[in-house]
Amino acid sequence: MNAANVVKSRWLPPWLRVWVAFCGLLLNSVFHVIPLMFIALLKVLLRWRRARVVFDRWLMAIAASWIDVNSALFERLTDTRLQVSGLPEPMPEGHFLVVCNHQSWVDIPVLQKLLNRRLPLLRFFLKSQLIWVPLLGMAWWALDFPFMKRYSRDQIQRRPELAGRDIEATRRACRKFRKIPVSVVNFVEGTRFSSEKHSQQESPFQHLLKPRAGGTAFVVDAMGESLDTLVDVTIVYPKGAGELGDLFANRIPEIRVDFQIMPTPEELRRGDYQNDPDFRRRFQEWLNVLWESKDERIRQMLDSPRPNHKH
């Protein structure tokens, strides 16, 4: 661990450390979102193809800078150890599907810290209500994050015309990514892990919830042949997961992250998950095998010796 980081962070009491982090994140967001929205407005008004290409580059540069500063706050205000294996070499071009287990909201800044400027900007699927989050909602919109509106069974029963709208929204969101470098992140379990959810599901995996194949399949289908690389990320918290407040209060001492890079299986890029039962079965089998491997990897990561450095 860098001695300078210890001096700069440990003397702060936890409540002050959290407050400094909150103010830093807020100021950083304001500083970056204002030019981000200005360029996004120009992109909407000036619809020439060459201009839009330039605006997209500026938007990505601002987003990368935003993440850099957030990551610096992570680095300077916490003593959390990051043990990382398989970190990919920089690949700024291409189309990547990033699949990951989901332990905590801390997963997102960890992924951003490790993959910023290595892969194209990470895009997460967001609930449609999040577009109303002050400042951040419009920034996510400007950066083409896909907003999804989920419908419950009761809603669909009352209004059958809603069936399939969330699927079509996924396809529309992903089609636009075919023409630009992108990393689409999918938390395959669909929700954060907890022992209660694990028990309710009767999950066959020791450390994971059951994978939800539908969302992953629709992303693969919508992206088509352009989705050439799969990034399988496994995150574990050996001393227990927490949320952002716990991170900056120094209550998350260690995070371990493993990356597995592989081609997206050719046979999975050609099929109709919704209407072809045989393809749906094969896709689910492939994802279950991937999840079995991830479950074993988590066991090994939890059993491995404690690292002696901070990433």
Segment 24-59, tens digit of pLDDT:
999 999 999 999 999 999 988 887 878 888 999 999
Any idea what the CATH number is for the domain that residue 90 is in? 3.40.1130
Furthest C-alpha separation in the chain: 61
pLDDT digits (tens, 9 = 90+) for 82-119: 999 999 999 988 899 999 999 999 999 999 999 999 99
Please report which residue ranges of the chain form alpha helices under DSSP H: 3-10, 14-45, 49-77, 107-115, 136-142, 153-158, 165-175, 195-201, 213-223, 244-248, 277-303
Return the minimum-mean-pLDDT range out of 39-43, 60-64, 213-217, 218-222. 218-222
Is 22 domain-assigned? no
Is 66 domain-assigned? no
The pLDDT-based confidence of 163 (bands split at 50, 70, 90) is low
Is 113 domain-assigned? yes
Output the average pLDDT for the chain: 87
Is 290 domain-assigned? yes
Q: What is d(CA 123, CA 208) in angstroms, rounded to the nearest whole number?
A: 23
Is 18 domain-assigned? no
CB contact set of 4 (below 8 Å; sequence gap of 6+): none
Domain total in the chain: 1
- pLDDT score recorded for residue 308: 46
Is 237 domain-assigned? yes
- pLDDT score recorded for residue 161: 60
Instruction: With a cut of 60, say whether residue 298 has pLDDT above it.
Output: yes
Query: Mean per-residue pLDDT for 170-175?
Result: 72
The pLDDT-based confidence of 15 (bands split at 50, 70, 90) is confident
CB contact set of 69 (below 8 Å; sequence gap of 6+): 24, 28, 32
Beta strands in 205-276 (DSSP E): 229-236, 254-263
Q: Which domain holds residue 297?
A: 81-303
pTM over 0.95: no
Pull the structure tokens for residue 57: 């580059």
CB atoms within 10 A of CB 205: 20
Instruction: With a cut of 60, say whether residue 311 has pLDDT above it.
Output: no
Query: Mean per-residue pLDDT for 73-81?
Result: 92
CB contact set of 196 (below 8 Å; sequence gap of 6+): none
Is 94 domain-assigned? yes
Is 131 domain-assigned? yes
Q: What is d(CA 69, CA 81) in angstroms, rounded to the nearest whole number?
A: 19
- pLDDT score recorded for residue 160: 64
